[in-house]
Amino acid sequence: MQKKQTSVDELISFILEGIEEVKGNNVNLLDLREIENTVCDYFIICNGTSNTHVNAIVGSIQKTVSKNIKDKPWHVEGSENSEWILMDYVNVVVHVFQKHVREFYDIEGLWGDAKVTVIENSFK
């Protein structure tokens, strides 16, 4: 099966769908395109309530993206302890945290110049 060419917008849409499928919390999309020397165009940041929930979010993202656009992350790290898992889709990097770890590292604060879009959860 050949992978079709997809847009970053489609990838973001399916990543967000995967997060929503398992009720990921506090989802933010950071647009980094206007910032010089960034490693990607977008960060998607969310958190889960436990190791199990963080793993479920990551699994759901991988499943949703793979099923819809036949893509997989270039690299995934942090699965050993499931407190902060990073999924690198090259132009889009997804950070799935446990809440206390997200608060400690404050990625949104570090990238304060980024345009932040808060994604409202439809399951509330």
Confidence of residue 2 (pLDDT cuts 50, 70, 90): very low
CA–CA dist 69, 82 (Å, integer): 26
Give the type of residue at 15: I
CATH of the domain at 45: 3.30.460.10
For residue range 93-118, what is the model confidence (pLDDT) as tens digits?
999 999 999 999 999 999 999 999 99
102 domain-assigned: yes
**Which structural domain range is residue 61 located in?**
8-118
Number of domains in the chain: 1
What are φ and ψ of residue 120, in 5° steps?
-75, 135
* Residue 70 scores a pLDDT above 70: yes
- Residue 88 buriedness (CB in 10 A; 0-12 / 13-18 / 19+): middle
Helix (H) or strand (E) holding 63: helix 51-69
Which pLDDT value is given to residue 121? Answer: 73
Which pLDDT value is given to residue 88? Answer: 98
Mean pLDDT, rounded, for 3-31: 90
1 domain-assigned: no
3 domain-assigned: no
Q: Mean of the per-residue pLDDT values for the chain?
A: 93
The closest alpha carbon to 119, from 14, 12, 16, belongs to 16
The closest alpha carbon to 23, from 121, 114, 98, 117, belongs to 121
CA–CA dist 55, 18 (Å, integer): 12
